[in-house]
């Protein structure tokens, strides 16, 4: 397998290092859910009742959503 090129291949090290002086370190918190559940609905009425229970509109196009409900982070979950 060929070695993947780096973004900085061919650049002198000091060029990009000079630009990054004083930049804060990027730390990404773990955003993975602790658990996911698949729910099967017997009818549209059951699906609607569950949606009311959790405070979400659930349709046949709904793929998932987070609980507790949180504002979207660039991705849209739900309807």
> Rounded to whole angstroms, what are the CA distances from 3 to 6, 9, 12, 69?
9, 12, 19, 43
| More confident site: 3 or 54 | 54
pLDDT, tens only, 30-53:
878 899 999 999 999 999 999 999
Q: Are 56 and 46 in contact (CB under 8 A)?
A: no
Q: Where are the domains of the chain?
A: 38-79
| Predicted pLDDT of residue 67 | 83
């Amino acid at each position: 397998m060929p070695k993947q090129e780096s973004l900085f291949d061919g650049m002198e090290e000091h060029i990009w290092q000079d630009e990054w002086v004083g930049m804060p370190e990027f730390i990404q918190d773990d955003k993975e859910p602790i658990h996911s559940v698949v729910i099967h609905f017997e009818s549209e009425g059951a699906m609607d009742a569950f949606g009311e229970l959790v405070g979400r509109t659930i349709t046949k196009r709904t793929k998932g959503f987070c609980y507790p409900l949180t504002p979207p982070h660039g991705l849209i979950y739900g309807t």
